[in-house]
Structure formats: C-alpha cells, structure tokens
Structure 1
Amino acid sequence: MTEATWERRHVLSLADFTAAELETVTQTAVSFRDVLSRRTRKVPALQGLVVTNMFFEPSTRTRSSFELAAKRLSADVLNFAPGTSSLTKGETILDTAKTYLAMGTNLMVIRHQDAGVPQTIADEMDRLQSGVGVLNGGDGLHAHPSQALLDLFTLALSLNPDQPTSQALAGLKIAIVGDILHSRVARSNLWALTACGADVHLAAPPTLLPPGFAEAFMRQSPLPIHRQVVQHSRLAPALENADFVMTLRLQKERMTQHRLPSLREYHAEFGLTRNRLNACEPNVKLLHPGPTNRGVEISSDLMDDPALSLISEQVTNGVAVRMALLYLMGVGKGE
C-alpha cells in the first residue's frame, strides 16, 4: 500500500486540493487497481468500519461504484433509499444522518440535488465530534470530487500505464465541451486539472457557458496558484491541438429554462464527430462522465471506438479511485 500523508477528514470539493494531494489519491488508486486485477479482489483495509451511502437523487455509476469500493475494502455497507425512508414521514436530513451515526457509521457518502447538503452534514458531524468522514458524491451544481479524481486517474493511466502520475498532465491541452453551466463534474475537473498544470479549454454555446464564466470561477480559487483556463463559444478553437477531450452530458434535469433550440442543432455545432477530431493531436483520447446521450454530445462510433474512447476505463477506474478515497479517509478509524 502506498504510504502517503493525508489529513482530510472530509472530501467535499477539490477547490483547495494541492497537486501533492491529487498525486496521493492517484498513487493510492494505483495500489488498489492492482488489487482489483487479482483473483481475490478484496483486502481487509476497512474491516469493521461502516460506510453509508446516502443518495437523495438517482445514480447508477457513482452509487454502485462506492458500494463496490467499500465492499472490496471489507467495510460494512448501508444504503439509504429516500423513497422508503423516514424522510417521507417528515424526518429531516440531519436527523437521518444522525440516525446512521447512532448505528455506528464511520464514513458517509452524500449525494443530493441541492448544493451544500454534504457540507451541512459534515459540519454537523464535526459539531458532534463524531469523527465521521463525509465524502461528497455530487451536490447540485457545486461539486463531484470523486468523478474528477477518477477522470484525473484515467488521464494519468492513458499517458503512462506503467507509472501513472498526475504530474504528467502539466502543459497538456484538455478540452471540456458541453453543458458546463450546469455541470458539477466540469467544476471539479477545472480545480483538479488546473492544479496539475493542465491547460484547460472550455467550449459551449453562450447559453451553457456565459461570457466571463472561466474568469469568475477561477477567482474563487482558495489556493494562490496559477490556473490556465480559456473559454470559447465555438468548438473548433477548443479542439485545436487538444491532447484530451471531455464531453459532458446535457443536464436537462437541471435546466430551468430552454437554453437550446434543439438537440439536433446542438450536435451540429458542438457534438463530437470523427471529422472534428482531426483538429486534435493525433493520439487524442475522449472522456465522458456518463450517462451519455448518444448522437447528441458524441457520435456512437466514437463512443464505441477503443482506440479513441476512455469511457469504459473511466467506469472501471472509478472503483479503484473510490477505494483510495475511502481508504485515505477511513484508515485508523477502526483502531
């Protein structure tokens, strides 16, 4: 197991993650990726600990990935289902969290449609001096740390499968295309990629990427580091000489107004196709956090092309990265 310094009780955002901390997650994930390639894909690292998945909105990849990660670490897992919980009887979210605390929960993974809910629960756990760690599984338009970390790990593996390191992203051009305005994945990736020294280019229609978005977002950085971000209202300049391209799902469930004339028009202007990738570097690779709207954000032939697409690898790598996060947050709690 990788020996690394880790002092975070909670993982709520990547805004204040240093390059060293991102590398710690990457190298810890390398160790667990090796575990997942064995015949016996389980280690007793968190044996005796309880991980509670509290997902207040639908999820397939993130919830299943966290559940599998916890079980691979030998933790006991509790899964919260809002539709059959006491929330339907009027119980508050904080009281629900404290109920799981009373059951002996050590780590909570929180996903909620409203920004700030994981932070509120983490603050309450700290006020109670419970020692419980809270991991943000995605909150509103705010953050999705584990997704950005698995994206970072996937990029590092693509660059050097034998010795992946987040430091290898320094100086590379990475394009993020799509519904950036409504994407917590884009926000978390912006923090992670720029902290590693990548040159990030954003591209979307002005309705999904308002003028000045990048500058306003970067001004929120709590760390005094240079972050290189450029935004475009056209796709071509973002793709020019790009080393990687990440396309985002249109967040239709988060849109409060009709911001696009039609999905067909969006694909015509910003959908990724084989011809458009000719502007990128010859060895360009594609990512998508899923779920994917085929034929809208990306053409099906690209999505299914193993020479170009890293989408399946993202899902696979998600388990190793979430094992790394749970391990780093949970180690020592069972003593």
Structure 2
Amino acid sequence: MYKSLLTMSDLSNKDIINILHDAKKFSTSHKDWHFTKSYLVANLFFEPSTRTHYSFVSAEYGLNCKVVDFNANASSLKKGESLYDTIKTFQMLGYEAMVIRHPEDEYFKQLESIDVPMINAGDGCGNHPSQCLLDLYTIYEHFQTFEDLNVVIVGDIAHSRVAKSNDEALTRLGANVKFAGPKKWMIDTKRYMDLDQACKWADVVMLLRIQHERHEQETALSKDTYLDMYGLTKQRYETLKEKTIVMHPAPVNRQVEIDSDLVEASKSRIFKQMENGVYVRKAMLKYVLQEEFE
C-alpha cells in the first residue's frame, strides 16, 4: 500500500528518523540501489524550481524510474483545465507517482480522491516537506541528535514554507527553535530573538530568502540595509560557536541574506544541503512507494 507525503504532519518522529537513516544508506553503502521495477513518475511543477525539481529528477533516475517533466505552459491548463483534472489525467494515463509544486496553499486538499502516491514539493506559503527533511538530514549528519539543539531561523518567516515545516519538525524532535529578522515577518513574536544575540546562542543558523513573489508590496529595505540589519555578515559569523553550522534552502541572494564570502565558508552547509537533497528525495520516493532495500 502506497503513502503520500504532503506535510511533515504526515510523518511520525519514527518515520522521520527512518527516512534520514535511508538517506544515509543512499549516500554510502546503498548508493547504487534502485527499485525492483521501473515506476513511471511525473514531476508537475507549477512554480519555478532548480534544486527541488532537478534533485527529484536525479533521485528518480538513480532509482531506475521512468521520468516525465510536466510543462504547465504547454498544457491544457492554458485552455482552462483545473488542477484536479490535470492530476486525475496523469493518474488515468498510468503514472505511478507524482511530485507536485504549486503556488496555492494546501493545493493537495482538492486532490484527496487521487489514487496515486504524491509528494508535495512545495505549496505556496504552506509546506515544504522535502526541503525540511534534507535540512533535518544535514543537521543530523553534523550533530547526530536534535535534542536540545538551538536553531534560529532568520528572515522572511511569515511567507516561508521552509520555516513552517522546519519549525514543526524540529520542535517535535526536541530542538529549541527561535526566529530572527524583521518583526513584521514573524509568526511567533514570543520566540523572537535579536539576530546578534541569536548568532551567539545558535547551534544552527538557518537563513531564508525574502519571498518577494509572495509579498503584496516590495520591501522598502535595500540589499545593503537588509544584510546589515538581518543578514549574516562577517562580523556576526565571527561570533558563532565553534560547531555551529550555517544553512540556507537557496536560491541564495548573495550580499542580502549572507555576505557572499560566507556562502562557502567552513561553517556553511549550503551546497552540502543540495547534495543531501538527492539522498533524501530518494528516501522519500522509497517511503511513498513502500519499497525495501534488497
């Protein structure tokens, strides 16, 4: 029996740890393991994506899937077809799994009758379970635990599906999660922390991009002003603890969320997160299709 993976709430803590352990196997001893049959998988991205989209493609090919990338601009959506009818069409054409990104919050609620495993690759400002899981894997790889870790998520919290998914999962797993950045973009002011203080406190500094496409009006802050007030500058980097790691879901706006020279600094895991995304997305596909290692 297949499963869908649409939000982090779909996973128990045990499920999360099992997926992380599978991702570890994919990165090492089971790197070349693939499915016993070649599943037909559709990637349906209704929003732009580089890392999420193509790491799923890499994961799917690595698992011996037959992969089709949907082009929304060349589809019947242009003729007025609904999202439900589009997804139902792929089901009836024999697709055995779907990876979907859509700008509407919780778009998947209208797809509850679709009888095919689905992975949510991001919904509006709502959820981003695959990014969350690769972030968790990156943290777990470094610390081997989540219990009592201090995590600060910095930036456009209100419009970030990454922040919401990570906050839920990390809190459940025993981490202490705080927020920093412009107060107008906070979702929980009780857990707000001054960024300079947070950099000294945190074991994990998770930076976020400003979600300009989800703002009703452009932020008035210039790039230089944002970096000085709410970004990871070289001065703040120097105050980090020895074992602290710096993360960012990307795309990175250099000299906005982070000083460009720090993107590949020794504490940065930004590009490592991208590599880990392939292992984790393989593990997610294994989970939804209920496959087992041989």
TM norm. shorter chain > 0.5: yes
> Given residue 29 of structure 1, which amino acid in structure 2 is its aligned partner?
A
Report the 3-state secondary structure (helix = DSSP H, G, I; strand = E; otherwise coil) of the residue aligned with 1:110: strand
Report the 3-state secondary structure (helix = DSSP H, G, I; strand = E; otherwise coil) of the residue aligned with 2:48: coil
- Note if 1:270 corresponds to 2:230: yes
Relative to structure 1, the CA distance from residue 103 to residue 315 in structure 2 (aligned partners, 3 Å threshold; closer, same or farther) is same
- Note if 1:304 corresponds to 2:264: yes
Aligned partner of 1:153 among 131, 137, 143: 137
2:79 is matched with which residue?
A: 89
Query: 8-17 vs 64-73, which deviates more?
Result: 8-17
2:92 is matched with which residue?
A: 102
Q: Following the alignment from structure 1 to structure 2, what is the Cα–Cα distance between the partners of residues 247 and 140?
A: 19
Q: Following the alignment from structure 1 to structure 2, what is the Cα–Cα distance between the partners of residues 194 and 8?
A: 27
Q: Following the alignment from structure 1 to structure 2, what is the Cα–Cα distance between the partners of residues 119 and 109?
A: 15
Paired residues for 1:182-261 under 5 Å: 182-209=159-186, 213-214=187-188, 230-232=191-193, 234-261=194-221
- Cα deviation code 1:65-97 (max 9, x no counterpart): 111111111111121110011111222211111
Q: What is the CA distance between 1:36 and its match in structure 2?
A: 7.1
Q: Following the alignment from structure 2 to structure 1, what is the Cα–Cα distance between the partners of residues 179 and 12?
A: 22
2:126 is matched with which residue?
A: 142
- Note if 1:174 corresponds to 2:151: yes
Query: 1:179, 1:248 within 8 Å by CA — same for their partners in 2?
Result: yes
Report the 3-state secondary structure (helix = DSSP H, G, I; strand = E; otherwise coil) of the residue aligned with 1:142: coil
Q: What is the CA distance between 1:196 and its match in structure 2?
A: 1.2
> Given residue 113 of structure 2, which amino acid in structure 1 is its aligned partner?
E
Q: Following the alignment from structure 1 to structure 2, what is the Cα–Cα distance between the partners of residues 240 and 8?
A: 44
Number of residue pairs matched by the alignment: 292
Give the TM-score normalised by the residue count of structure 1.
Answer: 0.82
Q: Name the % identity.
A: 38
Relative to structure 1, the CA distance from residue 54 to residue 44 in structure 2 (aligned partners, 3 Å threshold; closer, same or farther) is same
Query: 1:286, 1:309 within 8 Å by CA — same for their partners in 2?
Result: yes
> Given residue 214 of structure 1, which amino acid in structure 2 is its aligned partner?
D
Relative to structure 1, the CA distance from residue 303 to residue 76 in structure 2 (aligned partners, 3 Å threshold; closer, same or farther) is same
Query: 1:46, 1:327 within 8 Å by CA — same for their partners in 2?
Result: no
Give the TM-score normalised by the residue count of structure 2.
Answer: 0.93
Report the 3-state secondary structure (helix = DSSP H, G, I; strand = E; otherwise coil) of the residue aligned with 1:298: coil
Q: Following the alignment from structure 1 to structure 2, what is the Cα–Cα distance between the partners of residues 9 and 326?
A: 10
Q: Following the alignment from structure 1 to structure 2, what is the Cα–Cα distance between the partners of residues 110 and 137?
A: 5
2:289 is matched with which residue?
A: 330
Query: 1:111, 1:137 within 8 Å by CA — same for their partners in 2?
Result: yes
Query: 270-279 vs 186-195, which deviates more?
Result: 270-279
- Cα deviation code 1:159-192 (max 9, x no counterpart): 2xxxxx4xx1111111111111110000011011
Structure 1 unmatched ranges of 5 or more: 1-6, 160-164, 216-228
Q: Following the alignment from structure 1 to structure 2, what is the Cα–Cα distance between the partners of residues 230 and 46?
A: 47
1:124 is matched with which residue?
A: 113
1:114 is matched with which residue?
A: 104
2:47 is matched with which residue?
A: 57
- Note if 1:28 corresponds to 2:22: yes
Report the 3-state secondary structure (helix = DSSP H, G, I; strand = E; otherwise coil) of the residue aligned with 2:201: coil
> Given residue 20 of structure 1, which amino acid in structure 2 is its aligned partner?
K
Relative to structure 1, the CA distance from residue 111 to residue 311 in structure 2 (aligned partners, 3 Å threshold; closer, same or farther) is same
Structure 2 unmatched ranges of 5 or more: none
- Note if 1:295 corresponds to 2:289: no
Query: 1:48, 1:76 within 8 Å by CA — same for their partners in 2?
Result: yes
- Cα deviation code 1:112-159 (max 9, x no counterpart): 0111213322x021xxxx3x1111100000000000100000111122
Query: 1:147, 1:318 within 8 Å by CA — same for their partners in 2?
Result: yes
- Cα deviation code 1:283-310 (max 9, x no counterpart): 21110100000000000111022x1110
Q: After TM superposition, where is structure 1 displaced by more than 6 Å over at least 4 residues in a row?
A: none
Q: Following the alignment from structure 2 to structure 1, what is the Cα–Cα distance between the partners of residues 10 and 41?
A: 25
Q: What is the CA distance between 1:245 and its match in structure 2?
A: 0.5
Query: 1:175, 1:200 within 8 Å by CA — same for their partners in 2?
Result: yes
Q: What is the CA distance between 1:214 and its match in structure 2?
A: 2.3
Query: 1:207, 1:259 within 8 Å by CA — same for their partners in 2?
Result: no
1:223 is matched with which residue?
A: none
2:7 is matched with which residue?
A: 13
Q: Following the alignment from structure 1 to structure 2, what is the Cα–Cα distance between the partners of residues 47 and 201?
A: 44
Relative to structure 1, the CA distance from residue 322 to residue 24 in structure 2 (aligned partners, 3 Å threshold; closer, same or farther) is same
Query: 2:43, 2:70 within 8 Å by CA — same for their partners in 1?
Result: yes
